[in-house]
Structure 1
Amino acid sequence: MAIRLPGYRITERLGKGGMAHVFLATQHSFERQVAIKILTPSLALEPSFAERFMQEARTVASLNHPHIVPVYDVGEHEGYYYLSMEYVTGGSLKQRIRDGIEPREAENVLRQLAGALDYAGLHGFIHRDVKPDNVMFRADGSALLMDFGIAANMLRDNSVTATNSIMGTPKYMSPEQHRSQPLTPQSDLYSLGCVFYEMLTGKPPYHGEDTSAMAQAHLREPIPLLPVTLRHYQPILRQLLAKAPADRPESGAALVEALDHLESPEHYTRERARYRPQEAGINGTLAPRLRLKETKAGMSWRGNLYQYDIYLVADDFEQFQSHFPVLRSALQDWHQQRGSRCKGITIKATLHPWISGRVKQYLKELRQSEGLEFLGRLPILLNLVAADGQPIERLAWEPDSESS
């Protein structure tokens, strides 16, 4: 691609994306190296692509933040649409993930990107394509959020506040993005959560063979658990990867505040040690387990009545939640098969006392969740037991009762 642009001397091609080529060039007026992004000529013939490309230029040029790539110039010359921006030499986040990132470095990158998204959100912009490929590093190691090619202005773009077409990268898209629902800054924070998980583990949180399977994974699968050595970051991931936008941090600033109050790995280990049973194993962890059994519970004029017995073991709250895709499906199948002959449910949960309150609240709210409303019509006996066999709490929820 032999290109001449006024005011620049193009020296080499740096790369190629779906919509544009990126070149290294020298800007004559300042004698500085810049990266020039030029819209692919075939796409430039399509007004919609040219407009989207120029939208990126206008978007980024209006944002001034230390972790958003600065745009120096934008224009069109002899059919070539281009923008020039800072030439970044520290490589991409994708490369760093491949090489391996220390947890503290991953947290630092998370903080920087959260600040960038907070600034963009305050100025009315949603990025819509936060992913490792779109994060680059300066030579000093600071991260830059790149590629606002599909960013949207919440103040003027109706496609953000109304139902819109799917745009983004499925591996990192929020549930509402996969559903083509209205987007908010929390949608970018979900994508950032996917990136953070990948920084910590080397792989994205969800997998799918195609776009449809990937969408179902983001919509249905539980939040994945981090390795035990990184488990102190689990509360942050639980917030970022929440299925509902309202359950995520309100902004990038709120995320940074949550990181500031995050328990240290040492404190997390000490808290776990307080409840570590002797029989739980060398690492003091409980092996996850779920056992389901139907038993007869009497007779009626309709025939046999049935009770559903649930026994589960969980080492922490996220592990407890991980049982529920299977449990939910089993309960729905049981109700579909037995109908009005469902008599009641017993639940015995073996877990650490420090998560018992959250477990109790989760189970209580489960009775009002979509597809399991029938649970509110059944008596439920809940028995919470510590890992050493000591009782924690016994509860009996009567049909349609909202009290605990």
Structure 2
Amino acid sequence: MPSLDATATAISRTHAPDLIPGYRLEKLVGTGGMGEVHKAIQLSLGRTVAVKLLSQQLAQEESFVARFQKEAAALATLHHPNIVSIVDKGSTVSTYYLVMEFVDGPSLRERMRTPPEDPLEKIRVMLQICRAIEYAHGRGVIHRDLKPENILFDVQAGDIPKVTDFGLASFLEDTSSRFQLTSTHVAMGTLSYMAPEQKVDAKTADGRADIFALGLIFYEMLVGELPAGHYDPPSRRKPGLDPRLDGIIANCLKQLPADRYDSVTSLIRDLEPLAPNYTTVRPAKLSRMQRVKLAVKRTVRVVLQVVATLMVLAAMGILGITWLRNSERRVPMTPGTSLSADLGLPSAQLVAGRLSSTDGEPRKVSLGEGVDKPSVLVSGRPLTLEDRTLVFPAVEGQSRVGLMVVDVPGMRGDTARFSARVNTGTLEPTSFADHLRPLMYGPRPDAEVALLLMGSPGRYVALVYNGAGAPLRLEWNLGEKRGAMLGPDSPVGPLELELSVDEEGVLVASYGTRDEKRPIAEPLHLGLDWQEKRFGKAPHPALGCIEGICRAEGFSYSVKPLPPKPVGAVAQASEPPRPQVQKPAPKPTPPAPAKRPTPKPAPPPKGKRSK
């Protein structure tokens, strides 16, 4: 054990081992102004004890002897696991002595010089110290000299802290040793840990002086140094500490005793919630293998908790995404039905193009290039013209359907041709939210672009392109005549589509260039006078777009009336044709047999006449 500093009158000679009856002095462990502290053996029990010997000089003064006897009697009443207990007291011919429990372990001062421990461990130690002081105050004993040197750790008993030197500071000044004894010329206690009222009048200091000292010790344990002046709270000096410790220490270090905790019990009441797993026994030191097993168990537990948490979050995410997708799910509709529905009030717009007329009647209209600027009606989504191309851009928050109808009335004719090069696209993601949206709401639907001939409300023919790889589609709703046909898979766009009606009223949908046109489906027989009979009026060419981005270039529509027929031809044409029945071929007549020549009669003989 470390020796004690000798700052006052020291005992210069060595005592005999059998100076104290029943004990054998083995080793001097400390000296001080009041005397010596020896490690000794109690012969009756064979146990190790600590023996305090009053110096022979002080043993001659009755006042010191009386205080020594009174202190020993007071400490004899304290029996607490966190207090160093007194075993015996007595006197010899030359001196007086106290026999105390011997604690073979470091002091709190020595413990604070080691690397800092876990804050919860420091709270555990402070709670045990407070329990000891609470017990002593309950029996009328005030320490008056609490400091780290007077708190020892009993390693053999589970490394529990024990408070020593009760009451000695009431009349002697301690040195900095563990078993220090105070001198008579300095105020009671150690100046650095004294309460303000104790420095003024030590006799009037009560248990709240010990509370002040406990606050100083606790602050030093947490921060590493004593607070001075207007000190910073512990949680500011040491990030990671519980901020509630700031208020507890502040209540201990109030300058006026009335402002502090009224008892150590109140201090313990605020301190206990900060150490919910409080135990009076220091955790046992684990072997390397035990630490490895504990680390593995802790890692497995953390991994299982993380996995369970991730599974719960994944399940919640899946449910949330499913709900979002169901709430955002759009009812599938055929393109023709979607484009012919009510899309709101259309807006008129002039577009660059050309308009051709014959005898005052419009015959051909084209959009994208020209100076005529035909009028179009746009509804649902905005329409732009980009480099001679009609474009329905993808706009967030707008309608999913856009429609442009050419507003050129009176385009009547017996034949018609409607063509354009079309293509579709998708909106490229530009932000993190755009990349996240498909995960939350599902992939965006493919864009669809359509060429339409639109007549009276609800009557239309639509040729739909749904992107590369999707089949082309022809839809029609012409009153009682309605239906749809799927064509071949679409090639990569842009793709030229065409709707044409010949002089017999047969509608053909095709794709490809003029040299390589391919029919999309079976011809649709509309009949003569198809504009009025099927569409209810001369149809208008239109461009439709559903979802995404739609483009159309070379938009052109033309009609052509047939030349008038002659009157006779018209009359004959007006009469219903009579069915012509083929007459069966006449059977061949067999040849008549050859007639033999009739022999002429012989002439009469000359000279005779017939009668």
**TM-score band (shorter)?**
0.5 to 0.7
Tell me, in whole angstroms, the C-alpha distance in 2 between the residues paired with 1:14 and 1:263: 36
Give how far 1:175 is off: 1.2
Name the aligned partner's letter for residue 230 of structure 2: P
1:87 aligns with 2:102: yes
Tell me, in whole angstroms, the C-alpha distance in 2 between the residues paired with 1:94 and 1:251: 25
Contact preservation (8 Å) 1:126, 1:151:
no
1:179 aligns with 2:195: no
Contact preservation (8 Å) 1:131, 1:195:
yes
1:142 aligns with 2:155: no
219, 225, 231: which one aligns with 2:233: 225
Alignment correspondent of 2:273: 261
201, 206, 225: which one aligns with 1:203: 225
Give how far 1:18 is off: 2.9
Name the aligned partner's letter for residue 229 of structure 1: G
Tell me, in whole angstroms, the C-alpha distance in 1 between the residues paired with 2:124 and 2:33: 29
**CA 236–96 in structure 1, closer or farther in 2 if over 3 Å, else same:** same
Gaps of 5+ in 1: 154-164, 207-220, 265-404
1:45 aligns with 2:63: no
Counterparts of residues 2-401 of structure 1 (less than 5 Å): 2-3=15-16, 4-102=19-117, 103-139=119-155, 140-150=158-168, 166-180=187-201, 182-206=204-228, 221-226=229-234, 227=237, 228-230=239-241, 232=243, 233-262=245-274
Name the % identity.
40
Give how far 1:205 is off: 1.8
With normalisation by structure 2, the TM-score equals 0.37
Contact preservation (8 Å) 1:223, 1:241:
no
**CA 101–79 in structure 1, closer or farther in 2 if over 3 Å, else same:** farther
**CA 90–14 in structure 1, closer or farther in 2 if over 3 Å, else same:** same
**CA 204–121 in structure 1, closer or farther in 2 if over 3 Å, else same:** same
- Of structures 1 and 2, the larger Rg is shown by 2
Name the aligned partner's letter for residue 110 of structure 2: Q
Higher helix fraction: Structure 1 or Structure 2?
Answer: 1
Name the aligned partner's letter for residue 178 of structure 1: K
**CA 45–113 in structure 1, closer or farther in 2 if over 3 Å, else same:** same
Alignment correspondent of 2:418: none
Tell me, in whole angstroms, the C-alpha distance in 1 between the residues paired with 2:83 and 2:116: 21
Q: Secondary structure at the match of 2:240?
A: helix
RMSD: 2.2
Contact preservation (8 Å) 1:131, 1:191:
yes
Which deviations, in whole Å up to 9, do the C-alpha atoms of 1:203-253 show, x marking residues without a partner?
2223xxxxxxxxxxxxxx334422133352211111111112122222222
Which deviations, in whole Å up to 9, do the C-alpha atoms of 1:88-113 show, x marking residues without a partner?
01111111112244222321221111
Give how far 1:58 is off: 1.5
**CA 101–41 in structure 1, closer or farther in 2 if over 3 Å, else same:** farther
Moved more, 186-195 or 95-104: 95-104
**CA 7–25 in structure 1, closer or farther in 2 if over 3 Å, else same:** same
Give how far 1:152 is off: 5.9
**CA 61–263 in structure 1, closer or farther in 2 if over 3 Å, else same:** closer
Contact preservation (8 Å) 2:193, 2:213:
yes
Give how far 1:24 is off: 0.8
Contact preservation (8 Å) 1:125, 1:152:
no
Moved more, 65-74 or 46-55: 46-55
